[in-house]
Structure 1
């Protein structure tokens, strides 16, 4: 999709339909318009194409490029905050704006994971260096994906958007959960408050389990997350064990081979031998 980066097309005007008249286009409101979310999605799509092109050849993704792409995602997030939030908080009267903000944030944190996971392994492979900041970014973005999914499921103000938690948002939560589990399982000498992240992971497993009757993605994700949950219990799993190392290596390879922007790319069958073997 690299050709999409260079498409030279004019963005649609950020106005409402009734702002367009025979005499011209008038922007009458400082509030988000009917086109605001769509414009941001187009911008994010172009940025995601740029990021996917960069990670196709990880040997060419150096720390400078990584930092620049990370900053571009952050700049988009800053714009979303200024348009959809009020002083950094959701509007009490405009629930649709907060829903749009949540959906955009899901994609942003997926992009952060795509960018930083190759550098988050404490024992890097294929010549990739380990960056503690990338591991921190993966932990933060994994947790953010789980929290946004929780809000879509639990917050009364988002009840009209709850269906989204059964589809793409559920898949984003699965992405966040496996990325977070990978970091929790690997462990490093660096200290961080793992208990709060473990609680978020456990909450996500419970929530996804309860959504199985509404979501095909949750049906497939729940057994995998349940298995990872058991591995996070020290009494059941020792990372120093050779079998543990083998599973960890296979698990990370599985994560890295998935096209996380496309749910249909997941090979769920590879887990059959792990879960039922």
Structure 2
């Protein structure tokens, strides 16, 4: 007799989703919902499929499955043999390279992918749920996509995104992806120089770059480049194509900082929108820079200016959320070929060239750390050799051989050196985020101590003496950006404890994590408001539309979750006012920023959901209220409105897991569709202010 009656309905969702009564995507095992909740693959069980397979799978289907499994194992064996034959083990003293990429492919083959003995201890401890997937195009090209990045592919399918406009989605933004190694249709020097805008626009964009971006990513020696630029303006043929590539990438970065009403955008671009002109112009100049590098023979011969152009090209592409792994690996090997992995003092070079080499190597290490973290890699071996960090001096001091007066405030290198230390701390925090529970190498007190040390350095450098004259605008902007990133690290560091608090673990540790998260979220949004609304910071609209909006959206999401379970009515009212104000700020930038455009939709619905859980006391007298405390976080409140189901709250908690908020590409856009379940919510496109 069959174990199940004929016609009995078998479950088609996995057991964890079915028991919690939440939606299961039923795509594969483990399902995406179980991955977001941090469950192990063996916990995601499809009982219905296993029963059906035992009772109804035919012999033909079984033979097909066995044949496919055999073919897969055969292919894996062949791949391992090929990799083992081509990639010998690396000696501990050899330079550590980024993952190697094959020409013409965006797939990265890192050591953690090979399955051989070169795996680091941290890589072995990665939970299976953090593994991404391979995307294979019809042409056979393969690309590794980290798990968080897969959310963007389903964004358009979610109800919460039906009216979100992808700014400039029909405009090419990656015209430079195949030009570096291309030998077809090589352009002449005259043709490449003709791609430059008229001289007055070059002058204006160059000045924007050195006013806004150079203090943030100080790789060049400004006086040296200015002298070379003036020489180029007198005689365009006097500079190498590597230098021209550097000029093009400076123009590509500078256009992103132009104001909406700047006539340069409409004069040089022909698109109907501001974001369209910025996208097209930036892509055009990046493409020209790549063509100049190809004309300069970058594959076989190298120069310091060409290396600087490559580094700034990676910087520009990263701010446009374009792939950079392949280019980063190539640039790293160009730097090694030039000897930048060895401290320049050994070569007897001048002080300016020594510092330019150190700055280039430090910039590579920083970008490698960011990319490594974005891919969820736990390999702690960075691009470290015996190269000293750049000196904390102004460019003029290198020329005159003088030392800066520490009482006079920050130097041109202060910001980059502080961010270098913060990226190292970020790598340690993410090591704990992507590790198995209780397997982190660093404790929260240790990490907090390191962050506090950097804060002290920051305060000493920027705020020691401002009585004689205020800090210049660019230093004030740099200081705000540093503080914003510090609060971003605090949000990531305390997120696990905050999530445990939301799930009922009411201890001193979790309450402290909640407080730290709320404080950092408030601070991030306050900094964001300052940078967006102060006229002195208008040139930093590129930051507010990109990384700044990501940090602000992160803080807003944390406060929105607190709004679901406030400690008091006063806290509810205060946080709601902050979120409403942030909503207006995001709307004002939604015409330039995809993050802001999407954040408006999500935050609006979260506020609506939180208001449906609004806790009010029907009796105003305070004598009826007991102060919030452990185990009494909502004392004196009575829920009104439509309650939110526990399954929806569970989904919300899953969306705020820290691994989904490390980089902008990891934001879980697709998971917010639960906000539209049960009650259709209207979406209105925000009107730019």
The bucket for the TM-score relative to the shorter chain is 0.7 to 0.9
| Match for residue 457 of structure 2 among 55, 79, 92 | 79
**CA distance, structure 1, for counterparts of residue 668 and residue 566 of structure 2:** 26
Alpha-carbon contact 1:223-1:275 (below 8 Å) kept: no
Structure 1 residues 97, 262: CA separation in 2 closer, same or farther (over 3 Å shift)? Answer: same
Count of aligned pairs? 271
- Determine which structure has more spread, i.e. the larger CA radius of gyration: 2
**CA distance, structure 2, for counterparts of residue 135 and residue 109 of structure 1:** 14
| Match for residue 144 of structure 1 among 512, 520, 523 | 523
**CA distance, structure 1, for counterparts of residue 656 and residue 641 of structure 2:** 21
**CA distance, structure 2, for counterparts of residue 105 and residue 213 of structure 1:** 26
Following superposition, the deviation at residue 80 of structure 1 comes to: 1.2
* Pairing 1:167–2:549 present: no
Structure 1 residues 61, 112: CA separation in 2 closer, same or farther (over 3 Å shift)? Answer: farther
| Match for residue 433 of structure 2 among 55, 69, 80 | 55
Following superposition, the deviation at residue 271 of structure 1 comes to: 2.6
Following superposition, the deviation at residue 124 of structure 1 comes to: 3.9
Which residue pairs with 1:33 in the alignment? 411
| Match for residue 590 of structure 2 among 175, 196, 212 | 212
Aligned positions of 1:184-203 closer than 5 A:
184-188=563-567, 193-203=571-581
**Which protein has the bigger helix share?**
1
* Pairing 1:264–2:665 present: yes
Task: Provide the secondary structure at the position in 1 that maps to 2:599.
Answer: helix
Which residue pairs with 2:393 in the alignment? 15
**CA distance, structure 2, for counterparts of residue 200 and residue 175 of structure 1:** 14
Alpha-carbon contact 1:16-1:33 (below 8 Å) kept: yes
**CA distance, structure 2, for counterparts of residue 239 and residue 65 of structure 1:** 41
Following superposition, the deviation at residue 120 of structure 1 comes to: 1.4
**CA distance, structure 1, for counterparts of residue 455 and residue 575 of structure 2:** 23
Following superposition, the deviation at residue 166 of structure 1 comes to: 1.0
Following superposition, the deviation at residue 17 of structure 1 comes to: 1.6
Aligned positions of 1:94-243 closer than 5 A:
94-121=472-499, 122-124=501-503, 131-188=510-567, 193-234=571-612, 243=644
Structure 1 residues 255, 161: CA separation in 2 closer, same or farther (over 3 Å shift)? Answer: same
After superposition, give the CA deviation of every residue in 1:178-197 in whole Å (9 maximum; x if it has no partner).
01111221335x89744323
**CA distance, structure 1, for counterparts of residue 498 and residue 576 of structure 2:** 18
Task: Provide the secondary structure at the position in 2 that maps to 1:60.
Answer: coil
Structure 2: gaps (5+ residues):
1-371, 373-378, 616-638, 681-689
**CA distance, structure 2, for counterparts of residue 269 and residue 52 of structure 1:** 23
Structure 1 residues 191, 67: CA separation in 2 closer, same or farther (over 3 Å shift)? Answer: farther
Moved more, 133-142 or 152-161: 152-161
Structure 1: gaps (5+ residues):
none
Alpha-carbon contact 1:258-1:266 (below 8 Å) kept: no
**CA distance, structure 1, for counterparts of residue 459 and residue 640 of structure 2:** 40
Structure 1 residues 210, 191: CA separation in 2 closer, same or farther (over 3 Å shift)? Answer: closer
- Relative CO higher for 1 or 2, CA cutoff 8 Å, sep ≥ 6? 2
What is the TM-score when the length of structure 2 is the normalising length?
0.36
Moved more, 153-162 or 199-208: 153-162
Give me the CA root mean square deviation: 3.1
